[in-house]
Structure 1
Amino acid sequence: MLMREEEVAPPTAVETGEGAVTSASGRRWKPGLLTIAIAVLGLGGLGAGVYPMTAAWVTSFNQSQVIENYGAEIENVHPGAREQLRDARDYNDALSAGAVVLGENANLPVGEGTLSDESLDYDTILNANAEGLMARVKIPSIDVDLPVFHGTSDAVLTRGAGHLEGSHLPIGGEGTRSVITAHRGLANATMFTNLDQVKTDDLIIVEVFGEVLAYRVRDIQVIEPQANGTIRPEVGEDLLTLITCTPLGINTHRIVVTAERVTPVPDAEASAAGKPPTIPGFPWWAVLGGGGLLLIGGYVVRQGFQDARASAARPLSAQADSTDLNTPHGDATEGLGGSNE
């Protein structure tokens, strides 16, 4: 009596006992250690190459969103913009602005100014939101457009520029010098990285609670940390100072850019005031990263089949060699002992 044969499912990709995968066509896929090592190195190199571009793009996008929302936040702030500006002028009048301490190898300068009126709270004046957003600083010549926050803590300087507490608030006025600082050389953000490229007569624009102030660069210095006299207020002058560290990664000196107030504000800058910042361009890092992943993935898939074939061929070759050595007509030891005659 004939037994009915069981139906057999068509072959699919399965994993063998040796860890290899067999495709539906019967081809085995098992990448070798060298292939895996090359793929890991490739992924590491791709990540190292794409990360700075990715992080810088994301940071720039986030900063542009903060600046874009600045106008709406000023309209809804309490107290209102006029009251905040009045308090800022009272603060500057009450401030005895001291020198700025620039500790060697330190990233953050420290203000030494003191207030004669302790009722004025620095953190609540010119405060547009819960994050302490104060103003917007633009340097058109080097494409800088940053939000300015209260203080210069590490948390603040990861989001944008910081106003140095102890210096005058950035609303202008005779005998004032406002100091704004930002990081330089960060892998994930540009910030003040190109501040060394600023030239004399370049413009710096500050937008603060609906007002627009223009400053023209008059002096650029690289100073030692102890040279505090270069950033003191000057009688009768309305000054803005930008500070960042140099050389990159060493931070033993400071780039100090000093600019003096110009009035009226140039027409181009006045008309651009309050407009949204330029959104970062197309994220080419995504294209590069995606293309790199496809290349690495294609290499691993292709090489995995080749490695599997090579691995399968080695036992067959060894078996063939063993068969040749043990055939009846071909003793491998024949003739090694020589003749007894």
Structure 2
Amino acid sequence: MLGVTIMLYPTTAAWFSQYNQASLVGMYGDQLAETAPDVATQLSEAYSYNEALSSGALLAAGANVAVGSGHVSGEGASYTDQLSTPSGVMSRLRIEKIGVDLPIYHGTAEDTLLRGLGHLEGTSLPVGGESTRSVITGHRGLASSRMFTDLDKIVVGDTFTLETFGEVLSYQVTDVVVVEPDQTETLHQEAGKDLVTLITCTPLGVNSHRILVTGERITPTPPRDLHAAGSSSGVPGFPFWALAFGGALIVAGGYVYWTVKPVRRTAENRSEA
């Protein structure tokens, strides 16, 4: 029984994770619809926050998670007050090529990265704009969720989309870099460019290197992406085959046990005689 549970855990856990993430993405859209007047204010404050931000990120040698090095000049709303919703979701990332549709949260704490993607504090908020660079991080290779597991399949020319408080921002990948364990990488704004960098670890299961996928804003936003915005996140059907398979193994195991048991008893009785 324990062996069956261990064997089927990754499949069922991944399904529940996808279901939960899809529910959060759907909740995010509903919450924005219910607070429409506040959306414009939130976006305006986010733009102001980015303008006051000295944005940057440092990926130190041997580190798996980047550290935000930017700071906000003057007095303004705190980072956690920006793009705030009751569910905690600040944005949504879609990468059609690899089937990614995930919520983005504030910060990169471990518990955050187990629920979805994390926006790196100290880098631009994911609302776009000239001379901005937002950094989004995520795990790969988790038994319970795919997250950024297939990010290594992304190549220059591929696209991804952010949906932030009703804004639809599309990006085309311009650079894919694998950073060696002993390398230090700095990520800063580039004058006039609207950039987003996605970061995860590699190789799968080893996690000694980091993959940096950078995309530059496509303007205007492609009609296809505008049309897809706000659509529900697709969740595959529950893997009933896994339950059926597990049930079959249990039945087969029970059959073998009860078939062999009388034979063992007979052998034991003979030895005692």
Structure 2 length-normalised TM = 0.93
Does the residue aligned with 2:191 lie in a helix, a strand or coil? coil
Paired position in structure 2 for 1:307 = 264
**How far did 1:79 drift?**
7.5
CA shift in 2, pair 1:140/1:228, >3 Å? same
CA shift in 2, pair 1:205/1:236, >3 Å? same
Q: Distance in 2 between matches of 1:88 and 1:194?
A: 30
From 100, 103, 108, give the equivalent of 2:58.
100
**How far did 1:280 drift?**
2.2
From 84, 96, 99, give the equivalent of 1:127.
84
From 36, 56, 59, give the equivalent of 2:17.
59
Verify: 1:217 aligned to 2:173, yes or no.
yes
Deviates more, 1:242-251 or 1:151-160: 242-251
Paired position in structure 2 for 1:287 = 244
**How far did 1:288 drift?**
2.1
Does the residue aligned with 1:263 lie in a helix, a strand or coil? coil
What pairs up with 1:201-212 in 2 under 5 angstroms? Answer: 201-212=157-168
Q: Distance in 1 between matches of 2:123 and 2:137?
A: 11
Q: Is the 8 A contact 1:100 1:110 kept in 2?
A: yes
From 163, 168, 173, give the equivalent of 2:129.
173
Does the residue aligned with 1:212 lie in a helix, a strand or coil? strand
Q: Distance in 2 between matches of 1:87 and 1:165?
A: 16
Q: Is the 8 A contact 1:56 1:188 kept in 2?
A: yes
From 67, 73, 76, give the equivalent of 1:110.
67
Q: Distance in 1 between matches of 2:260 and 2:75?
A: 72
Does the residue aligned with 1:243 lie in a helix, a strand or coil? strand
Verify: 1:71 aligned to 2:34, yes or no.
no
Paired position in structure 2 for 1:147 = 103
CA shift in 2, pair 1:209/1:250, >3 Å? same
Q: Distance in 2 between matches of 1:224 and 1:113?
A: 23
Paired position in structure 1 for 2:92 = 136
Structure 1 length-normalised TM = 0.75
- Decide which structure has greater strand share: 2
Identity across matched positions, percent: 45
Q: Between Structure 1 and Structure 2, how many residues are aligned? A: 271
Q: Distance in 1 between matches of 2:36 and 2:66?
A: 30
| Structure 2 residue ranges without an equivalent (≥5) | none
Paired position in structure 2 for 1:325 = none
Does the residue aligned with 1:99 lie in a helix, a strand or coil? strand
Q: Distance in 2 between matches of 1:77 and 1:109?
A: 33
What pairs up with 1:245-284 in 2 under 5 angstroms? Answer: 245-283=201-239, 284=241
| Structure 1 residue ranges without an equivalent (≥5) | 1-42, 319-341
From 178, 190, 200, give the equivalent of 2:156.
200
Verify: 1:185 aligned to 2:141, yes or no.
yes
Verify: 1:239 aligned to 2:195, yes or no.
yes
> Which structure is larger by alpha-carbon Rg, 1 or 2?
1
Q: Distance in 2 between matches of 1:77 and 1:111?
A: 30
**How far did 1:186 drift?**
1.1
Q: Is the 8 A contact 1:179 1:240 kept in 2?
A: yes
Q: Distance in 2 between matches of 1:136 and 1:300?
A: 51
**How far did 1:169 drift?**
0.3
Q: Distance in 1 between matches of 2:59 and 2:64?
A: 11
